[in-house]
Structure 1
């Protein structure tokens, strides 16, 4: 499982539109087609409405505007946080298709790990690429107006979180990220650096050979 470094923004509706609607080749949104499947909602009411613009058999879609309004109103309780939107995505290797309940479990673990158990959150599943993936749109502000999101060293924590989820849900391990490889190289370098004095000490502690014996050996006695 691979987790991208989180992106922080100011528009909940914009983030949810990106996760819910299809994108054109020029990266603009096509609001007449839906690509995101809602798999998880936390501290939010989920409602639907009829939209005749949809080019699908069903003209029903999620009321994203209502959910975004709820998230925005809670975020407004904290005036210090200018970018309350946490947009996170996780992807799986080609051929691995975890069931929805596994993704829900990952979402719940994500909320606990990153301090957002009491924060509004939604997750959308995508199947428009070779590898399945899902997006999380969460508020960094909880229901009381406090910024509870843990964002320090985000890239390290996300990588550690992915390894933990792979073990817990028996998922295929993802390749190490560039930063993980750099840290592994740094750890090896530090290990070698600490090993050198030990080798020198072991050489110094070897008992010295008496000089008379050394002379006899040279002569051939």
Structure 2
């Protein structure tokens, strides 16, 4: 289950797309509606337009959400089950007391539905979009666990041609970053490789300092924070720096002396983080080899990086615990 969220200011275009009114190869059916007359598509659009005038301060009054599921769950998702999941998702997202429709598309192998809702609610208030991307991901994960739905493939295997808009651009940036950080040994090379794919990366500094706080990526006029590209930090400044340093060290080592260096022991024992990262990398790599015939990891999978991410999450969790 994956939720894609967009906002706009054109109910007619969105409703026509969701109901597949102008595309001959698309098949869609309206499953559910609330607060609207559904005799004709024009009635639906007019109803949305009438209510959005209750609040002239809302600039993007048309909300659109697509909920997509794994093909493996097709048999478990008749229309009524899909409506039930959509309504529960909307309730948890705080999309309530407003007009909306739910329509199912039948043009793909994976089951999916579309929700069009009025961001001006029945009382003239704006439906909040605060942290909607993060909330949506968390809610989808919660519902998948609750109902035993199939967890999709990792992000390295997502088919870009099935995505649209910001979701497609976000995935393109994610994949490009994973490729660039496997080979680049400095920031200049890293940025050059991304630029060849139409992606620019910019550092954000802490106020009045040279310390980098975050990264942002831009492609096709769409800008994303590193955390929006990947919540686990695979596109973050810390991870990129670690990858570049690792690549630089590997390229500096003579190939002939590699076996000798592998046998030598460091003069000093690594710290706690180093031990955890090394152990996690070994476990991940051995586990991947043991079950390789059953599960295939993505091309950008790096056991050492995954172990580093897990260790950083563990430290952040402990830090939050101490502050309570």
Would you call these one fold, judging by a TM-score over 0.5?
Answer: yes
Q: Give the TM-score taking structure 2 as reference length.
A: 0.48
Q: Which residue of 1 aligns with 2:151?
A: 173
Q: Which residue of 2 aligns with 1:16?
A: 15
Deviation at 1:193, TM superposition (A): 7.8
Q: Which residue of 1 aligns with 2:311?
A: 188
Deviation at 1:106, TM superposition (A): 1.8
Q: 2:27 aligns with which of 30, 35, 51?
A: 35
Deviation at 1:103, TM superposition (A): 1.3
Q: Name stretches of at least 5 consecutive residues in structure 2 with no aligned partner.
A: 156-228, 235-305, 319-324
Greater strand content: 1
Q: Which residue of 2 aligns with 1:103?
A: 82
- C-alpha separation between the residues in 2 aligned to 1:182 and 1:113? 25
- Aligned-residue RMSD, C-alpha: 2.5
- C-alpha separation between the residues in 1 aligned to 2:134 and 2:309? 14
Q: Give the TM-score taking structure 1 as reference length.
A: 0.69
- C-alpha separation between the residues in 2 aligned to 1:141 and 1:120? 9
Matched length: 171
Greater helix content: 2
Do residues 137 (structure 1) and 122 (structure 2) align?
no
Q: Which residue of 2 aligns with 1:77?
A: 54
- C-alpha separation between the residues in 2 aligned to 1:153 and 1:90? 18
Query: Radius of gyration: which is bigger?
Result: 1
Q: Which has the higher contact order (CA 8 A, sep 6+)?
A: 1
